[in-house]
A and B are shown apart, each in its own frame.
Chain A
Amino acid sequence: GAGVSQSPSNKVTEKGKDVELRCDPISGHTALYWYRQSLGQGLEFLIYFQGNSAPDKSGLPSDRFSAERTGGSVSTLTIQRTQQEDSAVYLCASSGTGGETQYFGPGTRLLVL
């Protein structure tokens, strides 16, 4: 079946602009995660959605970052007023339920000029 998909695959934007990153999880997966990975670094947890529960936003680095998950499926990560330090690969993952194996999408490579 189809894996996790993300769009766009690459995004170049100017400092101060807003960007939206999209994640389409594996069908039927109730858990969805967003991570950020800077060059040569590990995965930084951003936010976690589980079913209809309130999301765990504890990893969001600032109030410029927000995420939604509509209808328990597709998720959008929004970064407002982007800064150069936001440049990274943003990875989305889904799992059947929380705590299980996570399946990662190909990521969105964001470059803020």
Chain B
Amino acid sequence: QKEVEQNSGPLSVPEGAIASLNCTYSDRGSQSFFWYRQYSGKSPELIMFIYSNGDKEDGRFTAQLNKASQYVSLLIRDSQPSDSATYLCAVDTGGFKTIFGAGTRLFVKA
């Protein structure tokens, strides 16, 4: 069974620190990787996607992909209280079926 694993947290970081969120996946054939943010009571919204090994930066967010080790991570620099949310890792396993992890709850302390 294809799986996507995330530490449920909560991950607590002080304001201004770097938050590091990790995700592992089981299907080596996976091609596309996504990070979604979900505020409490709201729907998920896309933060970043990454297809190739290495780093991809967008503002304060950096996604890192290592296909050999089957992990993808999200770094949030200069964390703000408004970043407090659940972060969902999603993997497209081919056949257009996306598997979501259970999410990591992030709490940024002011």
**A interface with B by C-beta (< 8 Å):** 31, 33, 35, 41-43, 45, 48, 50, 56, 58, 91, 97-107
Jot down 16 A-B pairs with beta carbons below 8 A, ordered by A.
A35-B100, A41-B102, A42-B88, A42-B101, A42-B103, A45-B99, A48-B96, A50-B96, A58-B97, A91-B44, A99-B31, A99-B98, A100-B32, A102-B34, A105-B43, A106-B42
The yes or no answer to B92 lying at the interface (CB within 8 A) is: yes
Give the interface of B toward A (CB within 8 A).
31-32, 34, 42-46, 49, 88, 90, 92, 94-103
B43 touches A104 (CB 8 A): yes
Chain A, interface SS category? loop
CB distance from A2 to the nearest CB of B (A): 15
Residue contact B43 to A107, C-beta cutoff 8 Å: yes
Residue of A42, A98, A106 with most chain B CB atoms under a 10 A cut-off: A42
B39–chain A nearest beta-carbon distance, Å: 12
Can you add 16 more A-B contacts, CB < 8 Å, to A43-B100, A91-B44, A101-B34?
A35-B100, A45-B97, A45-B99, A45-B100, A48-B96, A50-B96, A56-B96, A58-B97, A91-B43, A97-B96, A99-B32, A99-B92, A102-B34, A102-B98, A104-B43, A105-B43
